[in-house]
Structure 1
């Protein structure tokens, strides 16, 4: 038990370090923005290319992928309804809240933890969910945001911008490596991608810590707690029910990769969309903070249960 907690402490410490630097005014939100831009345009795309180029398609468990996708859709709709109807948020903000719940912080936090505690089959499922989120979820959310903020959506321009999105572009490049059967193992390409991919977790967690240090007032409120409960408690329950009803796989051990992602905190990609669509990130940051702290318990439980 102590060993598991000890393994999680570096992730907690890096976030806390960013928080301290923010509180001391050594770094501010502009610095966090630069770090996030580095992740968005360089480090995360490098990680995605590496995941796809070295992925074993035959090992992907599609029952986990489909179960997780259905759960994401349901929880995203619930988050949209809660924030728009009960908390009276605008349509663009409510759509971003839906993404905040539907996505997990799987790239920055969960994937490196998975690589520490689990075998390759679980890592493959987690990586597959990350790729699915990049292709399907971000595309859908981007479309609805365009639809809600602009009277006339130019479909051609939207598709063009979508394919130029760093996440989508990196997926296409990774698929080309895979389809052309290009082996990048032990090459300068793999070395470069590996070094950039290694930056994702520490840089991302440090940036989160900086941002959180500027939004510490009234962190625990009805909205942040409601979203955190939906993300960390209701989401895995819905996932297990879907797995049971559709795939006769209603135990966490039967869908370990999907279950492990479902207990992760809210996704931080929503912060980038807040800037793009003029939505205040304050409450979203608070929900990310509350769910991140609470997820120490859910991740700890999931590791202990799945590695028995």
Structure 2
């Protein structure tokens, strides 16, 4: 238990440093964007290549991926129906609410947390693969059909973005290296592996600092503007209901225990990803709910994830 609490204390401390840096504007007005771009385009792909090249590929497409898909779709279905029925809002608003309750921050926050807390950043790959390859594009297509904004080019560009996503590229390279290593004994030359490792080591610190800085710049739950009840409800569904459903599937369908069950539940407890706000802004629906839920669910996710690790006795 002390190891769990100390692990989260480190994460919170680094985020707090980032928050202080952001409040004091020590790194200038565009530092958050620059740090996030470094993490997304350079550090995270290097991390995935480094770890994927040593990973058993079967783990990616096993029970973990199935639980990610089942728990996300189940929670999303319930969230969509609940929001539509309670608020009487439109279908497109309900789609954004569904995404706010289910779409995880699997890259910028998920990978650093998995790397620090469980020593394996590849644990988040099932989430990234499912969301980037299926859930996100399908939701965009549904929003496109409902809003009637003639955004066919946007849908096509979204699908094209999947192929150009640096995380997908990094994971693919890592998978190829892993397969080569398994079948031929090939390993990355030191002259390549060492630079990748150095850059990968920067991922956790830079990502958490950037995240803390971004938290210093946002204002949420503003009176008269934010749908506060819906935001809190969506945040609780994301950080409590979603992981509970993942635990149910993990235990009763796959008989998961120990580290596998922990990974399944922690992935589901990740907060709402920023892509939800991107979709809401692009289609002009439920923007405040998407933005505020991303922030509030993040504040709830860390203590919930710490509690999950304590309850599962890891």
The TM-score normalised by the length of structure 2 is 0.76
Q: Which residue of 1 aligns with 2:245?
A: 238
2:157 corresponds to 1:151: no
Aligned to 1:11: 11
Secondary structure at the aligned position of 1:255 is classed as: helix
* 1:173 paired residue number: 173
Quick one: which of 135, 138, 141 aligns to 1:137?
135
In structure 2, do the counterparts of structure 1 residues 253 and 193 end up closer, same or farther at CA, with 3 Å as the change threshold?
closer
Segment drifting more, 90-99 vs 39-48: 90-99
Q: Which of the residues 276, 298, 304 maps onto 1:298? A: 304
What's the offset of the Cα at 1:230? 0.3
Contact 1:264 1:298 in 2 (8 A): no
Cα RMSD after superposing both structures: 3.8
Runs of 4+ in structure 1 deviating by more than 6 angstroms, as ranges, are 88-93, 250-254, 278-281
Question: Deviations 1:17-68 (Å, cap 9, x if unpaired)?
Answer: 2322333344576432232233332222333333433321244572232122
1:231 offset after TM fit, Å?
1.1
Gaps (5+ residues) in structure 1? none
What is the deviation of 1:128?
4.0
Whole-Å separation in 2 of the counterparts to 1:277 and 1:47: 33
Whether the aligned pair in 1 keeps the contact of 2:112 and 2:208 (CA below 8 Å) is no
Change (3 A) 1:60 1:187: same
TM-score of the two chains, using structure 1 as the length reference: 0.77
The residue aligned with 1:102 is 102
Give the secondary structure class of the aligned counterpart of 2:292.
helix
1:226 positional shift: 1.0
CA drift of 1:282 comes to 5.2
Given that 1:107 and 1:201 are in contact with CA atoms closer than 8 Å, whether structure 2 keeps it comes out as no
Distance, in Å, in 2 between the alignment partners of 1:208 and 1:235 is 23
- The offset of 1:86, in angstroms, is 5.0
Whether contact under 8 Å (2:47, 2:197) holds in the other structure is yes
SS of residue matched to 2:219: coil
Q: 1:255 aligns with which of 248, 261, 274?
A: 261
SS at match of 1:218: coil
Structure 2 regions of 5+ residues with no counterpart?
none
Q: For 1:110-125, what aligned pairs fall within 5 Å after superposition?
A: 110-118=110-118, 125=123
Q: CA deviation at 1:163?
A: 1.6
What is the rounded CA distance, in whole Å, between the counterparts of 1:269 and 1:187 in structure 2? Answer: 36
Question: Aligned match of 2:235 in 228, 235, 254?
Answer: 228
Q: How far apart, CA to CA, are the structure 2 residues paired with 1:71 and 1:48?
A: 24
Contact 1:135 1:168 in 2 (8 A): no
Q: Which moved more, 1:274-283 or 1:162-171?
A: 274-283
Contact 2:220–2:295 (8 Å) recurs in 1: no
**2:73 is matched with which residue?**
73
Q: Does 1:267 align with 2:273?
A: yes
Shift, 1:213, TM fit: 2.0
Query: What does residue 199 of structure 1 align with?
Result: 202
Whole-angstrom CA distance in 1 between matches of 2:210 and 2:190: 30
Cα distance between partner residues in 1 of 2:156 and 2:290: 31
